[in-house]
């Protein structure tokens, strides 16, 4: 298939989606077993979740600046666009079928008389059927269901955007679009359902604690990034010279700011848990930032703005699964440990050999793993962790960690291979030499 035909197919798909949306027989929500009366809506919770949704949306442009400043000058625009375009692609995918796959009625199997889901019913909330002003009885009980769906949409958007940093400077744009659609439907949606749906397999049966997405977002993106760089192969010139450090600083600031919506918003209410998550988020990031720069200096490297920024983001990643489950002093330890381990992984020679352009696996994948392990040890609440439930609870988390790692890495590897069969994912040598900004987009930084 020639390049022009691929783009024709893409345009036909968006045309079909738009036409279906116009004539879709939308089903309205009504007070029932699944939907409560509008009088249950709490206006303070609505105000906070509207704000939190805006904050999480801001993280994706923030990520584009964060990544864009790190790559070579010939690939700034292409790298930033791959993050930014997720706002369009994944938002439409989420409305049409993604939300239904993630939070629809569970499809799975029964264990000892209890039913556990591995994915949602794809037809229940198609084109946001029933996703309106009434609150759901199990999902965001004090806010309109539409607000819950939009808040969760921002998580679905940023997850594939995180992957772009690993694939920068060598992946074909249209292939990337196809992959993130497949990833969102085949990996993100099932993982989201299994952990965050009240009857999901990992959350309900294994008892996995993931307050705001350490497993759903960061581990899935990190392992997908690892799979991607293995399939893509190394760049011809993998020398890493960041183009614009102020972009990285700006992106870090936007990410840190938006992360308050990411973590504190995951309380789904304007309450004390949200306030605690807000506090642990910023303290863990501060601890990780300072640990990273000091650890760099102890290892003979200069204190750099780039290092400070990476450290801050790693701290945000590590605290994400436990933001509402631990104390502020514990969050300092989370940031400290996350920074040490991720820093060692960033400079690990064997990981460098596979050419993860912006160290996505070392920061997001490993950060997500560390967050899950530390959460499994310290999370407060009955039967929540090793310290509050015993070895059995911790063991369930570790089994789940292995299962998630295999599922996300193996699934992403197969999806990259499938994408490559449909559309070659690697740009030509000439395009790589010219730079993706010009060769893919006809623009120049």
Question: Which pLDDT tens digit goes with each residue over 172-195?
Answer: 999 999 999 999 999 999 999 999
Give the separation between CA 336 and CA 334, rounded to whole angstroms. Answer: 5
Contacts of range 115-120, beta carbons closer than 8 Å, 24 or more positions apart: 115/199, 116/199, 116/200, 116/201, 116/204, 116/205, 117/193, 117/194, 117/197, 117/199, 117/200, 117/201, 118/190, 118/193, 118/194, 118/200, 118/201, 119/189, 119/190, 119/193, 119/194, 120/189, 120/193, 120/197
Average pLDDT of span 24-47:
93
Q: How confident is the model at residue 350 (pLDDT cuts 50, 70, 90)?
A: confident
Average pLDDT of span 52-61:
97
User: Locate tokens 């197919």: which residue?
Assistant: 9
Cβ–Cβ < 8 Å for 89, 260: no
Residue ranges with strand state E in 190-233: none
Measured over the CA atoms of residue 424, residue 429, residue 435 and residue 439, the dihedral's sign is negative
Quick check: 352 pLDDT over 90?
no
Where do the H-state alpha helices sit in 320-357?
A: 328-346, 349-352
N-to-C CA span, the chain: 31
Cβ–Cβ < 8 Å for 85, 177: yes
- The pLDDT value recorded for residue 2 is 55
CA angle 430, 433, 437 (to 5 degrees): 100
Quick check: 308 pLDDT over 90?
yes
Element (H, E) at 406: helix 391-422
Segment 272-294, tens digit of pLDDT: 999 999 999 999 999 999 999 99
Distances (CA, A) of 365 to 122, 170, 227, 254: 28, 21, 11, 21
Quick check: 160 pLDDT over 90?
yes
Average pLDDT of span 427-434:
92
Quick check: 3 pLDDT over 80?
no
Average pLDDT of span 321-329:
96
- The pLDDT value recorded for residue 381 is 87
The residue with greater pLDDT, 146 or 239, is: 146
Quick check: 242 pLDDT over 80?
yes
- The pLDDT value recorded for residue 10 is 87
The burial class, CB within 10 Å (0-12 / 13-18 / 19+), for 313 is buried
Cβ–Cβ < 8 Å for 102, 69: no
pTM of the model: 0.95
- Closest CA relative to residue 361, chosen from 261, 226, 202, 179: 226
**DSSP 8-class letter at 312:** H
Helix, coil or strand: residue 389: strand
């Amino acid at each position: 298939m020639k390049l022009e035909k691929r783009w024709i197919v893409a345009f036909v798909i968006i045309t079909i989606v738009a036409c279906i949306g116009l004539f879709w027989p939308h089903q309205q929500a009504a007070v029932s077993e699944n939907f409560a009366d509008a009088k249950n809506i709490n206006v303070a919770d609505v105000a906070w979740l509207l704000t939190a949704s805006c904050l999480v949306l801001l993280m994706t442009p923030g990520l584009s600046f964060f990544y864009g400043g790190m790559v070579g000058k010939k690939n700034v625009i292409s790298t930033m666009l791959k993050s930014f375009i997720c706002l369009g692609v994944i938002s439409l995918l989420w409305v049409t079928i993604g939300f239904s796959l993630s939070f629809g009625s569970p499809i799975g199997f029964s264990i000892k008389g209890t039913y556990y889901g591995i994915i949602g019913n794809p037809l229940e909330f198609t084109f946001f059927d029933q996703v309106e002003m009434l609150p759901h009885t199990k999902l965001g009980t004090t806010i309109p269901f539409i607000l819950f769906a939009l808040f969760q949409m921002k998580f679905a958007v940023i997850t594939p955007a995180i992957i772009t940093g690993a694939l920068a400077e060598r992946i074909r744009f249209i292939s990337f679009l196809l992959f993130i659609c497949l990833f969102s439907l085949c990996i993100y949606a099932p993982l989201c359902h299994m952990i965050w749906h009240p009857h999901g397999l990992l959350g309900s049966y294994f008892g996995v604690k993931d307050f705001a997405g350490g497993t759903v977002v960061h581990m899935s993106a990190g392992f997908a990034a690892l799979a991607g760089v293995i399939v893509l192969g190394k760049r011809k010139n993998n020398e890493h010279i960041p183009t614009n450090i102020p972009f990285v600083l700006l992106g870090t600031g936007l990410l840190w700011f938006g992360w308050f919506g990411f973590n504190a918003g995951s309380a789904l209410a304007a309450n004390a848990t949200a306030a605690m998550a807000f506090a642990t988020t910023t303290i863990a990031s501060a601890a990780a930032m300072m640990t990273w720069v000091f650890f760099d200096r102890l290892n003979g490297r200069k204190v750099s703005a780039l290092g400070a920024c990476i450290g801050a983001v790693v701290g945000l990643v590590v605290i994400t699964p436990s933001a509402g489950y631990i104390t502020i002093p514990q969050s300092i330890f989370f940031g400290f440990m996350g920074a040490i381990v991720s820093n060692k992984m960033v400079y690990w020679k064997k990981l460098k050999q596979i050419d993860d352009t912006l160290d996505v696996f070392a920061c997001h994948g490993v950060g997500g793993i560390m967050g899950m392990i530390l959460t499994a040890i310290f999370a407060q609440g009955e039967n929540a962790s090793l310290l509050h439930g015993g070895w059995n609870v911790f063991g369930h988390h570790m089994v789940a960690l292995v299962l998630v790692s295999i599922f996300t890495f193996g699934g992403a590897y197969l999806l990259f291979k499938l994408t490559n069969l449909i559309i070659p994912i690697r740009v030509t040598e000439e395009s790589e030499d010219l730079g993706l900004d010009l060769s893919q987009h006809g623009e120049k930084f």
